[in-house]
Structure formats: structure tokens, C-alpha cells
Structure 1
Amino acid sequence: MKRIGIIGAGAVTAATVSSLIAATGIDPEIVIVNRTHARAVGLAEDFTYAAAAVSRAIVRAGDYSDLAGSDLVIITAGVNEKDGGATDRNDEQGRRRLIPANARAYVDMIGQLREVDPEATVLVVTDPPDPLASLARRLAPGMTVLSSGTTIDSLRFRYWIGKELGVPASEVDAVVLGEHGTSAVYAWDSARVGGRRVLELLEESGSDVAEVQERIRESVKFSNISIIEGIGASQHGIGSIVADIAEAIVSNSHAIMPVASYHKEFETSVGMPAVLGSGGVVRILRPELTEEEQAQLAESARVLREADAVAFEALKS
């Protein structure tokens, strides 16, 4: 039985576990670790009964020692956007405003995980995931670290393109690159539906292409804030995405998702389509980009390097 550890017992963890125990899943053993152990115990027991109804997955609470030897450790713990004051649409920092508080928490969490499994495979989900993944790599060089990257952004991008063209999101091939944040790059030139360029289809429909592009970008960029304004936290979409990434890794499926991993070219963790298998990223598939999109990606990487520097400051405190 595959074992997946999760550090954190909040809304995203709950949504992730809900997807992982589904009848069509991989029936893993899921170990929940949380600073407040009683919360992990309660969440695990609740999901124990849910799992019994739909699958053979096992959910239990544990401590860091129980994470040793896991096929994957997911980290969701940390201050969220609402509590961290990152819900201002006019603030270009966006999720990066959460770095100082969550970086300090990561120093402790990665330190404890390193003590029991210095070679763990770690999926960072806590916002902002990309600079926190870079911090985790620095704290534990022996670990394989990736973040959820632009996977949820790409799903939202495909959804809104599909809505505009009247087709399901599953029929749209489109990706968001770079930062999971305000500097994200929307790869419009390579976006396809049924083998046709999305930009051409929008033009044929009589739409104002530039207006549609801006509207979709705004919808994706502020999706989290819209959700937070309604229910307090973005959880179900990201939970299903995290479960998909986890399943791809522990089942060695070689599914392709735009997670963020370290790129020597950019000297930071950048969201890019990647083949996922045992141990994390097997291969990176960089899409063809226009000169403008390449420049945007370089700028997003610059923003991320600056964010990394802020996260690294936590090591000094």
C-alpha cells in the first residue's frame, strides 16, 4: 500500500484527502500530521469512516516519525490568504505577502521532516508554493521538492476558455506557466481546442479577442479571492488537483501536469508542464512560446527569485 503523508489539517488537506480516498483512486495509507495533534486525530477519524464507505484507503493521524519512508509528503500547513491579508485585488504581491510567516513555519516543518527522512519526496502546496519549495530545497538538499505550481491556474484557464468557446474544459489544451501568482504567464499562442488555435477560434466567433483574453486572465488571476469572499478559503479545486499530482507520483503514471520544480536556467522553481512519476518530476516539457511569452516567463522567474530571497531571510531569524 502506498503511503502519503500530509502536514497540515486544514481545509485544503480535507479536500485533498476527500479526493484521495475516492473509489477510483489508489487506496493509499494517508498519515495526517498537524501542530495541534487533536485536530489531526479528529480529521483522520472522520475520513476513516468516509473511506470505509467508498474505498480501501486508510486514514490515520501520526507524528513526523510516521512520515519516514512515505512515497510522498504533502505540505499544506501555513497561514492562508484570508488570514494573511492577501486578498486585495490591487496588490501585485498577492500570495507573496504570506512569505515571511509561512517561511518561518517551513523552517520548523522541513527541519522535523529532515530528521526522520532526509530524502523524502515533498509536494509543497502552502501559499505561495513556489518560493516555499525553493526554501525547502535549501533547507533539505537531499529531498526531492516540487510545488503544485500552476496546475490549478491551468485548470481555471482551460475552464474559462472552454466556457467562452462552448466546450468542456477537458477538451481544451492550454497551460499557465511561471509563478502561481500575479506574474503568471498565460500561453495563449499554444492553446488549442480540437487541434485548432484558440486565438483563431475566438477571432472566428466574432469576439474581441483582446477583451476576451483580458477577461479570462482576470477571472483566473482573482479566482482565489472570489472563492475566499464566498466561502472563506479556496479548497476543493486545489484539493482535487493536489490529489491528482499525488496519484501521478505514487503510481508512477507519467501524467503531465504544470507543477513547479527547480530550473537551472531560471535559478528558481518555475511552473512548467512536467512528466510525473516515482520521485517527482521525470522530465520537463517546455512549450513553444512567442518572444513576448518568453519575456513574460523570464520576468515571472525574476519575480520568483526575489520571492525566494525573502523566504531565505527566514533562515536568519
Structure 2
Amino acid sequence: MKTGVRRVALVGTGFVGMSFAYSMLNQGGLEEFVLIDVNKDKAEGEAMDLSHGLPFGPQKMDIWAGTYEDCRTADIVVITAGANQQPGETRLALVEKNAKIMRGIVREIMKSGFNGILLVASNPVDVLTYVAWQESGLPRHRVIGSGTTLDTARLRFEIGKYLNVDPRNVHGYIIGEHGDTEFPLWSHTTVGVQPIMDVVANNPKFNQEDLEQIYVNVRDAAYHIIERKRATYYGIGMALARIVRAILGDENSCLSVSAYLNGQYGQNDVFVGVPAIVNRNGIREVFELNITEEETEKLTKSVNVLKETLNTVK
């Protein structure tokens, strides 16, 4: 690898991995992109297909199908490989088969001499991020899960549609497990700078019941998408691209990634979706908000569900 060249390696060239790759091709921000898959022909075909779009991209980029050895000098390795969630199947039901897959992948990555940042998107992401951290031996701030970044984006979209405002001007977070026990931080959700609770209280067109339905729609979005098209991938691909750009750009951006808690929010020894400051070193810090008692109880419930599942694969 040439000095100062930004290299990202992607493990898994399925729908999620390639949605992420296509997002990076269009957004730019790196110079070398390595695709790794157990199906080498698939990786080679995807690398060729992506490369043919480079004349229309924002910058020069070298894209190729590689091996785990290419991870040695990568800045970030993004892991999307794993069994897919089936219709009616919860993310947590995937845990045993995907934990085994994750351990094998991380062992191969670390054998290369990799010393960068691991970004995990395979489901159930919070549990598998813990497994990846455990297997890698890397410092906890350099192992990150995609967490609730996609769920947060879904929340912003739904609120924007409800209020008829640009979702980029909606600020708030879904936190907890990326799954059935996730929940919104209504106490820290604003439209522009106005708290959403004030927006609802001051306008008869809006009400709390609608906000709760928005939350349900966000929580269950994956089930509805999987029922209709068997998989979700565009949104998470964009979310992964956003996290990678925050890392490579040393942005110190606040994103709801799956981060290790070591006392924050009263929780320990778990990776879970919470707002965190992300920069070139990984997670600079967990952004601990002053949340309500009800929100604290919901987070505790979500963490307990994750820990019960994690205990089956530790």
C-alpha cells in the first residue's frame, strides 16, 4: 500500500456489502477498495462492474477482488458477511450461525496483521460486534457496529414526512438493540432547534399517538421490507458509507453506532446502539445524554435482551 492511501476492505459481497460499495463509489473518500468473499468469482465480477462506473465517479479509485492478506494495510475492514434474515425471523435468531461465521472471518483478518478499525454490519449487529471485538483483541474503541444508524435515519425520514420538513433538519436518535427493543429518544428529538414534543403540543394537526405509530413503523420497517423484497440493503449501505466517511475524514461526528459501554447509562460490558463521537481513531467517546427515567428503563431492558443472547455465544 502506498503511504497515505486510504484503503477499505469489504468482507461479504452480498446485497448489503455491494450497496455499501456502490455508495462509496458514488460518494468517494477513499483510494483503494478491496472486495473479499468466499465466492471469489462473485467478488471479481462485482469489482469489474463497479470499476466500469469509475469514469462517472467523483474521484480515482482502485477496486479489486482480494484476499484477507489485503486487510493488513487497510484503514477499515467492513464486515457484512453472514446468513440473511428470513421472513418472520428476528435478528437475534440469527445469532448462533452468524457468530460462528464472524469468528472465522475475524481470525483471518487478524492473521494478516490488520491493525485498523473493524466496522460490523452483520446481524444481530450488537452481539456480533461484541464477538468481533472478543475475537480480534483490538481496543474496544476500534471495533464499531452499524448499531441504530439506519433506524435513526428511518426515524428522521418518517418524522420529516409527518411534519412535511426536510428529514435532514430532524435531529434525534433511536437507541438500544438494533431490533425489537430499540426505542426513540423523544426527550432529545428536535425539528430544527424546536423539541418535537413542543411541535406536537402547539399544533392540533399533530399528536403523541402519531409519534408512537412512527416509532412502531421504524421498529418494524425491516420486517415489512423483507416481506416485500426479501432483504434490506440500500439504507444500511448508505449508513455504512456515512460511518466510513466519518472515520476517514476524522469528522468527530455524532452517530448512533453500536459502541462498547463501560459505565455509561449505567451499563457495562455490552455493545449497543448509542450516540457516539466517531473520528479517525474509531469511537472517541460515547455521547452520554441526560435521558428520562422511562428511557433509562427501556435501555436497560434492551441491554438485558442483548446480554441474554450474548451469553449463548460468548
Contact 1:134–1:268, Cα closer than 8 Å, also in 2: yes
Q: Structure 2: which amino acid aligns with 1:286?
A: E
Measured after TM superposition, the shift of residue 213 of structure 1 is 2.4
Residue in 1 aligned with 2:73?
A: 69
Q: Which residue of 2 aligns with 1:148?
A: 146
1:29 aligns with 2:32: yes
> 2:194 pairs with 189, 196, 220, which one?
196
Q: Contact between 1:44 and 1:60, CA under 8 Å: does it hold in 2?
A: yes
Secondary structure of the residue that 2:143 maps to in structure 1? strand
1:181 Cα offset (Å): 0.7
Q: Report if the CA contact (8 A) 1:178-1:272 is conserved.
A: yes
Q: Does the Cα contact within 8 Å between 2:8 and 2:30 map onto a contact in 1?
A: no
| Equivalent in the alignment of 1:128 | 124
Q: Quote the offset at 1:127 in angstroms.
A: 0.9
Bigger shift: residues 205-214 or 238-247? 205-214
Aligned residues, how many? Answer: 303
Aligned identity (percent) is: 28
In the TM superposition, what is the alpha-carbon distance from 1:209 to its structure 2 partner?
A: 3.0
Q: Does 1:250 align with 2:252?
A: no
Map of 2:272 onto structure 1: 270
- Distance in 2, matches of 1:254 and 1:175, equals 17
Give the conservation status (yes or no) of the 8 Å contact 1:110–1:140.
Answer: yes
- Where does 1:104-253 land on structure 2 (aligned, <5 Å)? 104-142=100-138, 144-207=142-205, 209-253=207-251
AA aligned to 2:128 is: L
Letter in 1 for 2:227: E
Paired residue type of 2:168: S
Q: Within 2, Cα distance between the matches of 1:276 and 1:105?
A: 27
Alignment partner, residue 15 of structure 1: 19
Once structures 1 and 2 are overlaid, which stretch shifts more, 297-306 or 238-247? 297-306
TM-score for the superposition, normalised by structure 1: 0.92
The alpha-carbon distance between structure 1 residues 118 and 49, as it changes in their structure 2 partners (threshold 3 A), is: closer
How far off is 1:281 after superposition? 0.6
> In structure 2, the residue corresponding to 1:252 is in which secondary structure?
coil
Equivalent AA in structure 2 for residue 252 of structure 1? D
Conserved? CA contact 1:4–1:30, under 8 Å = yes
Give the corresponding residue for 1:53. Answer: 56
Post-superposition offset of 1:52 = 3.1
Deviation at 1:270, TM superposition (A): 1.5
Runs of 4+ in 1 over 4 A off after TM superposition: none
CA distance in 2, matches of 1:73, 1:26: 15
- What secondary structure sits across from 1:258 in the alignment? strand
In structure 2, how many angstroms separate the alpha carbons of the residues matched to 1:6 and 1:17?
8
Partner residue, 1:294: 296
How far residue 166 of structure 1 moved from its aligned partner, in angstroms, is 1.2
Q: CA RMSD of the aligned region, Å?
A: 1.5
1:301 aligned partner, one-letter code:
V
Distance 1:207 1:298 in 2: 34
Structure 1 residues not aligned, in runs of 5+: 313-317
Give how far 1:207 is off.
Answer: 4.8
Q: Does 1:99 align with 2:95?
A: yes
In 2, the alpha carbon distance for the partners of 1:303 and 1:120 equals: 30
Aligned to 1:3: 7
